[in-house]
Structure formats: structure tokens, C-alpha cells
Structure 1
Amino acid sequence: MKEGLIIHTNACYQRAEQQAAKYFQSLKTLVSQKTYISTLTKDFHVWKQSHIRHSLFSLGKQKADSRGYDYYLRWLDYRGKLDSYLDRSISYIYMRDLGKALDSPDTQAEIRQAVNRLKIYLRGHDDKAKDFSMVGLYRWAQKEGIESTFIWLAEKLKRVSAHIPQGLDAVQAQRKLIKIIAGVSMHALDEMGDRLSSEQRAKKLDEAIRLGYAYGLTYPFIDDLLDSSVLSASEKKQYSNLIRTTLVTGVVPKWGHWSGKNTTLMRYIHSELREAFDYLKAHHRGVAGNQFFEQAYVFFQSQETDRVKELDHANYSNEDIYIPVILKSASSRLIVRSIVGASEDEGFDKRTFFYGIYNQLADDFADLFDDLKSGAVTPYTYYWKYHRTRPDLLNPFELYWAVIAHLIHHVYHSDPKACEVILDRAINGLKRYKVRMGTKQYNEVMALFDFGEPKFTQLIQQLVHKADDVDFFDKLLRDHIISILKNQQQEREDFFHTVDMVRTQINNSLAIAEGDSLPQDIITTAANYSLEGNGKRLRPIITWFMAVKEYRLNNAAIVPLLRSLEYMHTASLIFDDLPSQDNAQTRRGRATLHKKYNTAVAELTGLFLTQKAVTEQASLDAFDSKNVLRLIQYSSQTTAELCKGQAMDLQTKGKPLTREQLTLMSFYKTGLAFEASLLMPAILAGADEAEIIVLKKFARHAGIAFQIKDDLLDVEGDVKLLGKPVGQDAENNHSTFVSVLGLDGAKQEMWEHYCLAIEALKEIPRNLTFLKHLLNYIVNREQ
């Protein structure tokens, strides 16, 4: 069986290589005969009639980039251009990913339907439907009945993000993975239409999302990783052999000895890719499965052939350079087709095979300087380095136009729609490159890749300068997603930087000086022992942010308020850990206070800290005295409510609780503490009642989400990260969200409160980015 598969894959690669060589020979003939020049010149003269504006009064088109995503789409709609914009964008996807011929009436009908659905989506009045945030996506998942799938994917993406090593572009890695998942899911939605039941739709979408993830994972963890310098040469060899063995045998080898410094990373990748491979294999059975893995083998082998090339090697032939490019670009398209499960029509394999190099040459041109920097061998980098000493080398820019002519007239049989889309894409690619690189560098690149056809070159540059209506939705969306990911990354880094900075400030201010009147002040010593633990300090951190960043209160003046919050919180933990309550043995990675000393000392220390908190609040003398009095009153009321909540918790031990009872108890145990963190600075700043109400709503849902996450960590958490044993809730016979709703149900409940908290923030006229990232931390934390 194994030997048969080896022969089959090798034979498959040889057939593909022969086909690629034949295709490349036809392209060389086109270049040598220059026949494509006159053909494309005629095409462009017809094409430019629809794309060159001659009126002196025509308005310049707004720039289509990620900064103007929503505005640009509205502008297109207002100008009556949205339909044609979406039509060429969807048509391009049908050609590139599905291998469709655009002259087919059925394909045109499918494209019109897809355009109409996308147009409705983009024009939708429900902002949540167009929201790329986690809230928008979760609300969509709820609508489709795939909440569990969304949560599974969110957890997977979180772990992938955490394992993207330095040396890889994390934003691009995430974008590629998201792109594949979204593409497979959107195709599944298009295929389903409205003919399936809600249960069938949910099943199809679940499968599509898991397929997209399984295949998309190969981009960061195979292609990007092997192209990077993260792995040593010996590690790359080990990894490549492992992948090749998997594709040849259909079985992922067991994890064995890894000789290299990246053992931890590679063990995770091996585990994740094995799971993904098994899912793909289960999905692709029979003849379709053989074809899928054959194409995967062709893709990997051609990638490897390219990957081992060295830019300093001056003797590669044109065939050495271009045949692997044809193979990997064609097989990658065939793999995508297989993943989405697109129906086959006559000629699709031929169209897909010939189309791939068109995209690959465009991508390699755009990545020229990045590839030069990394020493990668592509048609453009190799020509760039050796064109002066190797007159035999084909000019890749010239070959690119020959490929376009071949596609339009020999593959798509001069179909006007195919011609329109391909030329739109070619000119748009050059326009984007010119904007990105700047006119000076663009002209230098054009001069280097000049292939001695001045009239044709002049025509191309005229079109690049003047052509309109050639941009595509996928590029706009790509830029928009990259912008979102980069902003999120920066905001996340700012969030954790702020948290670390404020935590250090708080930690340095918490110690209580021992009194002179007592020779052995055991209570103060015990209080400092509890305060020295490795606490998260979330509550005073939230207060600091709201006070200093939002209400512009003086940093030094609010330090007593920060201390008071941590004193109150630590006191609540001391009481919570007592033998008469939860009887906890460890807290914050060390023995609880009653274990360190005794129960009496713990009780007295808790009371001592609550009084110290009031003393700190009373010392807020830089603020309006009425506001300080309101704050102390509110703090006292909150403490009383927290006591009631804890009593409720103790009274219900061993009793089955409903979701509603758990939610109420969670609010009293956790939500009120979050509320205090938000409201105390608001009270000091004199915020109006409307804002107070919204902050209470946010705090309620954030606190409940926090408590549910605690319940989940008690089941799934890591003892080393938590600093306390797991399974305490079950041992103490506590009803929790997990015990009442189950693991999946608890996760869904957490995400529901996450969404409600984020949605509450929209009612506050402030840019509360910090609180959004706080919520992300709450649901994603490991401790």
C-alpha cells in the first residue's frame, strides 16, 4: 500500500512536470515571436474606452484603501458604480478559485446572485452584520446556529497566534488563515442558498469553517515557516521529510526526536497539523481524496524545489526558474477548488492549470524587494540579479504579458468579460504597486524590466496613470483586514504595556507601614503578606485607566483610591478562603492567609484591610468633598452587597442552581467589584447619571463573563498558571456555569455576556479601547 502510493505520487508529479514544461514552451514561443504585443495592444485600445475619462469636469475617484473602506463603498454606491465593482470582483474569484469560464450562462447567473447577496450585505442597516469584530462574528454565528464552532475557532486562532514565532509576519499569517476560512465559508453559503434547513446550514457551515482552518493552517505553519529563518537548515530538512512522508503515505508520523532549538514550537505544530490533516483526509475520500493529495504533493514538491534554490547560484536555466512556478501556482488553485468542493465543468482543469502562473507572477512582482532581501529565488529576483550577464534569461515582466494574452485568447477564447477582468486586474496591480513604492522607485523598476517595446510600454504606463474603475473588492477587503489586525496588535501591545506599568505602580504603593505602638504588629504583617501575592490588580488598573485616561484626573491624586480597591479586594479573598467558606489552601501561588497564620489572624486582617480602604478613600483631598462623600457611600453600599452575594454563595453550596440564580450570584460576587472600579473614578469626576447607568451595564456583563471564565479555568486551567488547584468547585460541590450548562454551554454564556458588555460600550461617547481589550483579556486569559 505504502509503495503503491509512492509510485502514484511520483508519477503524478512527473505528469504535472511534463504538462508544465509544455505550457512553458508555448509561452517562450509567444515571447520570442512577439505576437502577443499586437494582440494585447488591440485589446487595450478597446478596453481603455471604458476606463479612461476624458472630461475636464470628471471628478477624481476617491482612493480605495483600508482607511476608507466604508466610505469608499458608500461612494461607489452613490456614484452607481457598486454593481460593476462587485461584478468584476466576484468574476475574478470565479476565474481564479473556481476555474470557471465567464461565458457560461450558468456561471453568469451564479455571479449575479453572488453580487446581489454581497450588495445586500454591504448595504445592510444592521451594523453587526458588517462588523469584523468578535461581537459581530459571534452574533452572526448565533444567527446561523454555530456558536460552538465559533468558540472552537476563536480558541484555535488564539493558540495559533500565540505560537507564531518571531521571524514570521504575524499579521500576514493571521490574514492568510482568516482569508482561507472566510473564503471556504462564503463559498458554502453561496452553494447553500436558501434551500436548506437551519440544521443543514449549521452542519455545512461547521464543516466549511473546520475545512478552511485545516487547510489555512498550512500557510503560516508550512509555507511561511519553511520560507523563514526561524528553523535551522537541519530543522527544515527534518520538517520537510515529515511533510513529504505524510503526503506520500497518507499518515502523519508520530512525534519523535527533534534535533533543534525549536522543539516546543514544532511539537505544537506537529499536533495541530496532524489534527488538521486527519480532518482533511476524512473529508476527501475515494477518487476526490486521491486527487487532493496528489495535488498537495505536487504543490509541496514544487515549493521545495524552489525553496532550496540559492540566489547566488548563477546557472539556473529558464526551465529551472519557471516550471516549479507553474506547478505550484496551478496545484495551489486545484487544491483550493477541492477544499471548497466546487463543481467541475468542462475545461476547468485546463483553465486552472494555465491561470495559476498569472497570479504568481503578479504576486512575485509585488514582493520583489522583500524577496530580494530574504534571498528568495523568483523569476523577478533572478532576472534582477543576472540580466546583465545572462542574456538568455527570460524577462518575467514580458512573460507576464504573454501569459495574459495566452489566457485571454487561448484559454478563455477571447471572451470579452474574461478579457475585461484580466486586464482590470493587471492594470490595478501596477497602480497599487506604484502607490505603494512611490513614482521614483516604480519608474526604476519599470526601466529595469523594460523589454524593448516602447509603444506597448508607453501604452501600459498611460493606462496605469489614467485608468479608472479597475480596483477590486478583495484588495480593498485585504487592506482593511490588515489595517484592523495591525491596529488590534498595536492596541493589544499598548493595553499590556499600560497594564504592566500600572500594576508596577500599584504594587509599589500597597505596602502598609507597621505601627510603632505594637511591638509585634502581626495584623499589618499578615496584610502585607496577602498584598504581596502575585495578584492581577485588575480592579485598580481599570480604575486608573478610567480616572487618568478618560476623566483626566491627576495620577498622583488617585493613588489612595487605587490602594483602597486592592485592599477591599484582598480582604474579600481572605474571607472567601476561610475554612468556614471555601477552605482554600492556596491563593496567588502561595499559602492562603489562614494556612500561613490561623483563622483568627485571617479574619482580623480582612477586617483591618476593609477599614484601611475607607481610610484611603477619605484621604482623597484633591477632589470635591461632595464627590468624595458620594464615593465613600457608594463603596460602603457595594461592600455590603458583596457580603450578601458571598452569603448567597455559601447558602447554595451543594444545591442545584438555575442559570438565572448563577447569573445573579456572579453579579454580586464579581460584577459589583468591576462596577466599583468603573464608577468610583466616574463619581470623583462628576459624570452624569446616563453615563453611570451604561457603566453599570458594562460592569455587570464583564463581571459575569469574568466569573464564567473562572468556572471554566477551574475545569480546563493549568495549575502552574492559575496559582491554585483546579477542580475545587466540584470538590466543594459548588454549582457553577460549567456544572449547570456544561462546558460548551458555559462558553456560549460567557461569549453572550462578552457581546452584551461590548455593545454597552457603544452607548458611551468615549473611545474606550482599553475596556474592549480588557474584555478580550477576560475571555482569553489563562489565569
Structure 2
Amino acid sequence: MNPELELGNKADAAYRQAERKAAEYFAVLQEQLGQKKFASVLTGDFQLWKQQHMRGWPWHAWRAKKRKQAAAADGYGYIHWLDHTGKLDEYLDRSIAYVYMRDLGKPIEELETQARIQRAAASLKRYLLKDAPTSRGGQPEWISAAGLYRWGQQEGVETAVIWVLDKLRNVSAHLPKELDAEQAQRKLIKIVVGVVLHVMEELDKEGSPAAERASRLDEAIRLGYAYGLTYPFIDDLLDSAALSAEEKSCYSRMIRTALLTRTVPKLGEWPGNTLDGFAFIHAELREAFEYVKSRQVPESADAFFGQAYVFFHAQELDRAKDAANPSYTNEQIYLPIILKSASSRLIARTITGAPIDEDFNRRTFFYGIYNQLADDFADMFDDERAGAVTPYTYYMRYRDQRQDLINPFELYWTVVAYLIHHVYSSDAKAREVILDRAINGLKRCRERVGKEKYQWIMDTFAAGSPSFAALIQRLVQKADNVDFFDKRLRDQLLDMLRAEREEREAFFKMIRTVRQQINDTLPIAKAEDMSAVKAKLVDAANYSLEGAGKRLRPILSWAMGVQEYGLEASALMPLLRSLEYMHTASLIFDDLPTQDNASTRRGRPTLHEWHDSATAELAGLFLIQRAIREQASLEQFEASSVLAVIRYAARTAEELCTGQAMDLASKGKMLTLEQLNRLCFYKTGIAFEAALVMPAMLAQVPEPEISRLKTFAYHAGIAFQIKDDLLDAEGDGDVLGKPVGQDAANNNATFVSILGQEEARKQLWEHYCLAMETLQAMERQPVFLKHLLHYIVSRDR
């Protein structure tokens, strides 16, 4: 028999076994649903539950609700509002308890589990409240890249954090336009966090040494990414319109083959026009697959690949449904979603090689349909528009034609009752958390779709049990203190990702616009009566000003001067020209044979190669004088401010010369990190400082703000130089516009030569964090500077 066919038969047999288990569970739910047991059982549960959530509505309750809504608009402020009102402990306790129940599969009734929930909630509370002095209603530190890196430092997994941040950026860049980029990133991040939580739970239980803890967390981050990648690049991609039907069929066969043979097929011939984009997806998934496989021990590998096959096959069955087919049975509708939802969480545990835990498997299995029904309820209108078949969309379409169809809303409440009384043995804590979650889901739905549409949902799905439906409606309207941290984090993460995308697009659009304006005004005009000698100098200067320059320094000055300080762009233009003239002059000198001896710059021969060294030296001096002339032309500003700018520019030029002299003197020497930081500041950081400080001086901003700008520039400048060193060591010469490896060839002291690439990356992120923390402490927090930092660490040229 064909080996792959044999493996396929074995996997199909395993799927059928899992399907029988799901069918047994579904039959129990059907029986309880048929008897409407959920209504009477949960009515009693809600009577107990109401004691904690509906204490009457005194006259001041409306004002308290308004204050809560105002605080909720600010992610960080909401946490502090909860703390101020004494509700934060309860909020975090139920949030952590839910994670322990749903994601970690823990027995909530056990004292050990409850103690660990309390410890985790207390730890999270300290973390959430610790950054109070630096937050001003913006993005909370704990969901930022800087916050993630700081966590990585505490756990000793900085390298893995840098790696996963780079990977997330790459996924975003290569995601097909047909997919929702923010949702894809959110899902991927959620899976990484879920796998890390599983491992942290095991580590906390075992009390592992620091080195082992760091090693296993590093692995968990990489495993989480590897597994999470399947959501955007398999699940979402196959659900989207990015691939043709033929491409989807080919792709599904490849995935099935990989799961059966445990080897990813080569891409080979591809039936469509998306091969270029798909090549990256295939390569990334193959790398992820091989990493996961390499981390599986024999006793866990079968469990992992078995669950992965169940998950994928259930997804395929679900995906193949046609909304126009009115004949699907309840089993065909519900069994695949029981399996795919339960398997997705079981995989998160088996992927780490954790030992098989039947109690965990049982609890997670029964939780599966609960999560899926809750998610499908929240997405029913989006799913309907997309033509997807879910329990809710199918019931909406055929409820009047098919009396046998199960009402998914009633099945959801049946599952809730089953979880409370059969899975968690009527435990009070479990009842509290599960009912909190259920009511919170309905409250969020009403807020999201509006009261009118929400009422239509209730009229459609809750009509079968009028008294229970009326109870639910009262609870949704009046119950309080049922929100959860993970939902808030989800919303904030999506808002952050969307805002950052919009800001990033505006950032690069502004850069392109301002760069063009600067490029248009940079060339030095030649007078008709200009001598041939001077004309040669002007031509040489203009040659160096041309090319693919980033114009980062004048763009930075434009953003600060125009966007932040409200200065006139036309009035500021002489300053922008002066900055680029000074910068270009420094590059001409740096490239000379007596210094760095560079042959190309900005994708073209350097000036001394195009002309000669003497012409290059004179052109550099010419540009410096031209820069001074431009600064003296800032006629629309107060004379004292202009003089201060000229003095500052002269001092900056001196320090740039000092930096280059230090660089030449350091060749062949082993510098300390402190010496290298100092050298780097004089070479690079001081130019960033000038770009920030000079428009601030013209705007006459207070000295404390200028001091913070200097601190920001110091760290941003060093981060920029470290990235330059890394690009010289490992970048693409075609993209950079100059040969790589020049630093090593010239025996230059760099962050890479002193620290190595891995430690250099850590230093890059350390200065990124210090610059970001300085930015957060400023009264003005220009979005431009935040995205400048992102650009510095992620650029490829």
C-alpha cells in the first residue's frame, strides 16, 4: 500500500474516533436541550449570581455608570478607575480564573488552583499599575513593543522577543490584501501568549531554575509563533478570496500531506498567479513546521500531529459547507465545530510537549463548543455577509423551513449549564466566572450592534423560552462588574494595531511628501556669470546631494517645526537645507580614501571616485559654508533665536569632527561599550539632536523640553548607528545601495565587532526602549517620533 495512503487511513480512523466522542457529547447536549433543562437550571444559577451583580439602582448609579464609561475610553485610565473604586481585584480575579479554566484547563474548584489564580492576579495588578508616572491616556506600556521587550529582559528571553517582533512585522508585510491585517496579527499574538501561558504555568508549578525557565520560555515564544502562523497563513487564507478555488485545493492537499507524512512538500508548480507572494508563505510555514517537529519528543509527537490533523480536517469540513444547501443535519453543522474548537486548544498544550493529562483534555474538549458558539454569535453578521455557514447564519436562513434545526443560542445556554454542573460540579467560582462571561458577551454585542439590531437578535434566537429570555434581558440591562481583562486587551490591541497602521501610513506619506519638497529645494543653482571653477564645485556638491538620500534629519526637523510647533514650512526651509548640506558634507569626508575609503554611496560612486579627492574635499567645505549661509537666512524668526541656532550648529559641527576623529583613532582597537556609545553619539546622535533641537530653539520652547529632546536623540541616534552596523554585517547590498562588510574590511570598531550580532540587537532594543520611555515622559509626545523609532529598528537600508 502507498505509505501516504496508509497514513491517511490511519489519520482518518483517528478522526472518526474523535468524531464519535464529539457525537456522544453532542447527543447529551441535544437531550438536555430537548427537555429545555437549561432554562430552569440557569434560572436558579442566576438567582444566586444576581446577589453579586444587581444590588439595586440608587440615584447615583447612573452617574457611576457614566464615570465608568468615561474611564473605559482610556485603556490605562480604566485600570486605575477600577483600582480607585476598589473593583480591580475582583476584575483581575475573574479574568485570570477564566484563563485558568478555558486555556489552561485547570480544575477551578481545587484550592491550589485558586491560590495560583490569586497570585497571578496580584502579579498582574502590580504590573498594570507600575507605569503610572509615564502614561498620559495613550497606549498602555504593557501592550507596547517596549513593554514586551522589558518583560523579555526580566525573563532572560530578549533574543526570542526580538525574533518574534521581527517575525510579526514580516507577516504583516506579506499578508495578502484580502485578509484583515489587524485581526490576523491579533490572532497570532493571542496564540503566542496562550502557549507562553501554558509553559509559565508548568514552570511556576515546578519552580524551575532561572536558566531552565528562560530556555523553555524562549522555546514557547517560538512554538507559539509557529503554531499561531497557521491562523493567518492557513485558516484565514483558505477562507479568503486571495486564492482561487484551484489554488485552495492545491494548498489544502499540501497541508494534509505535511500533517500525514510529517514533511512539508516542495512548492513545485502552482496553479495560479499568486506564486510570488505564496512563496514567502510556504517558506515561513515550512520553517515553522520544522521547528515544531524538532521540538516534539516521541511520546508527544503522535498526540500533536493527531490533534493537528483533527483540527485541520474539521476546518476543511466546515469550510466546504455551502450556505445554499438547506439539507445539512445538526450533526453536520455542530460536530466539526466541536472538534476544531477543542483541538485548537489541545494543540496549544501538546505543541509544548507537555505530558498527556486526561482531566485537562476532558475539560478542554467540553469547553470547545462553548467558545465557538460565543465567537460565532459575536460574528454572525460578518459571517452572513461573507456567505459562511455557522450555526447562527444557517439557523437565520432556514429556521422557518427546518423545524428540526437546533437553535444555537439555546444550545449555547445548554452548554453553559453543562459546564457549570457537569464539568465543574456546580462549583460556585465556576458558576460566577462562566455567567459573568456569558452576560458580558451579550452586553458587548448590544454595544457593538446597537439596541435595535440586538433586539432583533433576541427576538430571533431567544423566543423559545420567554421567561428565561426576559431574565437574560434584565441581567444584560442592569448587571454590572462582568467585564474581563482579556476582552479589554483584545479591543485595545485591535485599536492599537489599526491606529498604528493609520499612523504608519500617514508617517510614510508625510516622509514621501516632505522628502520630495526637500529634494526639490536642495540643488544649488549656478549663476550665469559663475566661473568655471566654482561651477565645478557646485556640480560636485549637487552630485553628492542627488541620489537616494533618506533626508531623515531635515524631515525630522520639518515634522517637529511644522507639525509640533506650528512654524511656517516655507520659513523653516533654509534650516532644512542647512541640515542636509551639513550631513552630505560629513558623508563626503567620511568616504575619502584617508578616512573610510568608501567606493559607493547611495547606490552610486562616491564623489572622490567620480571626480577626485581634492574636488571632494573642497565640495565638502563648500557645503558647510552653504549650510551657514542658509541658517543666516532664517529671517522670519527672532534674531536672538537665529543666532542661538547658528552657535549651536557650529558647536554641533565641531562635535561631528570630533566623532570622526575618534572613529579614525579607534581603527584596529577594541573599544568598551561606553567608549563606543560616546563615539556613536558624536558621529550620529548629535545630528539627530540637532534636527530636533534647532526647530525647538526657533520656536522658543522651554529648556526642560529641549533637554528631553536631547535625551531622546541620544538613544535614537545610537539605535540608528547600531542598526547601520547590523545592516553592514548582514544586510542586502542591493537594497542598501553600497557594499556590505565595509566595517570589517576597514577594521572599524562597531557594535557588531565588539558585541556580536545578538548582543548588538539587544543594545539596539535597549536604546529603543530608553528613547520610547523618554518620549512617554514628555509633555508633547509626537506620533512622528514614535514611528521614527519603529522605522529605525525595522528599516532595511
For normalisation by structure 1, the TM-score amounts to: 0.96
Distance 1:630 1:56, change over 3 A: closer
Q: 1:210 corresponds to which letter in structure 2?
A: R
Match of 1:398 in 2: 410
Partner of 1:335: 347
The farther-off stretch of 558-567 and 72-81 is: 72-81
CA separation in 1, counterparts of 2:715 and 2:748? 21
Q: Which amino acid aligns with 2:424?
A: Y
Note closer, same or farther for the CA distance 1:654–1:347 as it changes in structure 2 (3 Å cut). Answer: closer
Map of 1:402-551 to 2, 5 A cutoff?
402-518=414-530, 520=532, 521-551=535-565
Match of 2:624 in 1: 610
Structure 2 residue 65 is the aligned partner of structure 1 residue 63: no
Q: Which moved further from structure 2: 103-112 or 417-426?
A: 103-112
Q: 1:544 to 1:382 in 2, by over 3 A?
A: same
Give the CA deviation at 1:126.
7.2
C-alpha distance in 1, partners of 2:132/2:419? 41
Give the drift of 1:346: 5.6
- Which residue is 1:36 aligned to? 38
1:243–1:596 Cα change, 3 Å? same
For 1:309-708, what aligned pairs fall within 5 Å after superposition? 309-339=321-351, 347-518=359-530, 520=532, 521-708=535-722
Cα gap change, 1:644/1:410 in structure 2, threshold over 3 Å: closer, same or farther? closer
Match status 1:242 vs 2:254: yes
Mapped pair 1:169 → 2:196 = no
| Counterpart selection for 2:223 from 208, 211, 217 | 211
* Kept in 2: contact 1:86–1:473 (CA 8 A): yes
Q: Kindly indicate whether the alpha-carbon contact (under 8 Å) linking 1:758 and 1:772 is maintained by their aligned counterparts in 2.
A: yes
Q: Deviations over 1:437-458 (max 9, x none)?
A: 1000111122222442211211
RMSD in angstroms over aligned alpha carbons? 2.2
Of residues 736, 740, 755 in structure 2, which corresponds to 1:722?
A: 736
CA-CA distance at 1:66 after TM superposition:
5.9
Task: Summarize the Cα distance change of 1:757–1:74 in structure 2 as closer, same or farther, 3 Å threshold.
Answer: closer
Matched, 1:223 2:235: yes
Stretch moving more, 338-347 or 568-577: 338-347
Pair 1:36–1:132, CA change in 2 (3 A): closer
Instruction: Output the CA distance in 2 between the equivalents of 1:130 and 1:683.
Output: 30
For 2:24 and 2:157, the matched residues in 1 are separated by: 47
Output one character per residue of 1:735-777: Cα deviation in whole Å (capped at 9) or x when no partner: 2111111111111122222222222324432122211211111
For the residues of structure 1 that align with 2:355 and 2:473, how far apart are their CA atoms? 39
State the distance in 2 between where 1:224 and 1:750 align. 34
Query: Do 1:67 and 1:480's aligned partners in 2 also have CA atoms closer than 8 Å?
Result: no
Out of 112, 121, 125, the residue aligned to residue 115 of structure 1 is: 121
- Please say if residues 180 and 213 of structure 1, whose CA atoms lie closer than 8 Å, have aligned partners that are also in contact: yes
What's the offset of the Cα at 1:259? 2.6
Q: Could you tell me how far apart the structure 1 residues matched to 2:773 and 2:416 are? A: 48
Whichever residue aligns with residue 645 of structure 1, its letter is G
Residues 142 and 523 of structure 1, relative CA distance in 2, 3 Å threshold: same
1:158 and 2:169 correspond: yes
**Deviation digits for residues 615-673 of structure 1, max 9, x if unmatched?**
11111111111211121122122212212222222233333333233222211211121
Question: 1:284: which partner in 2?
Answer: 296
Query: How many residues align structurally?
Result: 783
State whether residues 297 and 353 of structure 2, in contact with CA within 8 Å, keep that contact through their aligned partners in structure 1: no
The runs of 5 or more residues in structure 2 that have no matched partner are 135-139
* Separation in structure 1 between the aligned mates of residue 197 and residue 268 of structure 2, nearest angstrom: 38
Deviations 1:174-232 (A, max 9, x none): 11222222233234334333933322221122122112212111121111111111122
Between 185-194 and 211-220, report the one with greater CA deviation.
Answer: 185-194
Is the 8 Å Cα contact of residues 64 and 476 (structure 1) preserved in structure 2? no
- Give CA deviations for 1:677-716 in whole Å, capped at 9, x if unaligned: 1121122122333333222222222111111111110111
Structure-2 separation of matches of 1:131 and 1:147: 16
Q: Distance in 1 between matches of 2:160 and 2:526?
A: 55
Q: How big is the shift at 1:90?
A: 2.0
Q: Which one of the candidate residues 196, 214, 223 is aligned to 2:208?
A: 196
Deviations 1:8-51 (A, max 9, x none): 31111010111222222222222322233222222222322322
Deviation at 1:105, TM superposition (A): 2.9
- Cα 1:299–1:56 change in 2 (3 A) is same
Which residue of the other structure, out of 276, 283, 291, is the alignment partner of 1:264? 276
Equivalence map 1:14-33=2 (5 Å): 14-33=16-35
Whether the aligned pair in 2 keeps the contact of 1:88 and 1:472 (CA below 8 Å) is yes
Amino acid at match of 2:149: Y
Match of 2:727 in 1: 713
Decide whether aligned partners of structure 1 residues 45 and 340 sit closer, same or farther in structure 2, where only a CA change above 3 A counts.
Answer: farther
SS for the counterpart of 1:418 is helix
Given candidates 53, 69, 85, the residue that maps to 1:79 is: 85
1:123-142 deviations in Å (ceiling 9; x for gaps): 44677895322222222222
Residue 54 of structure 2 contacts residue 479 of structure 2 at CA under 8 Å; is this kept in 1? Answer: yes
How many Å separate the matches in 2 of 1:66 and 1:253? 49
Unaligned segments of structure 1, at least 5 residues: none
In structure 2, what is the Cα distance between the partners aligned to 1:144 and 1:401? 41
Contact 2:300 2:354 in 1 (8 A): no
Counterpart residue number, 2:55:
53
Give the 3 Å change call, closer, same or farther, for CA 64–7 of structure 1 in structure 2: farther
Give the residue type in structure 2 aligned to 1:509: T
Residue identity (%)? 58
Query: Could you tell me how far 1:477 is from its partner in structure 2?
Result: 1.7
Deviates more, 1:382-391 or 1:709-718: 382-391
Q: Which moved more, 1:99-108 or 1:700-709?
A: 99-108
The answer as to whether partners of 1:717 and 1:782 remain within 8 angstroms in 2 is: yes
Show the counterpart of 1:743: 757
When residues 664 and 36 of structure 1 are mapped into structure 2, their CA distance, relative to the original with a 3 A threshold, is: closer
Q: Which amino acid aligns with 1:752?
A: E
In 1, the alpha carbon distance for the partners of 2:480 and 2:705 equals 47
Kindly tell me: are residues 347 and 198 of structure 1, through their superposed partners in 2, closer, same or farther at Cα, counting changes over 3 Å?
Answer: closer
What SS does structure 1 have at the residue aligned with 2:756? helix
Which whole-Å CA distance do the structure 2 matches of 1:191 and 1:130 have between them? 26
1:7, distance to aligned residue in structure 2 (A)? 3.3
Q: Which residue of 2 aligns with 1:149?
A: 160
Amino acid at match of 1:426: A
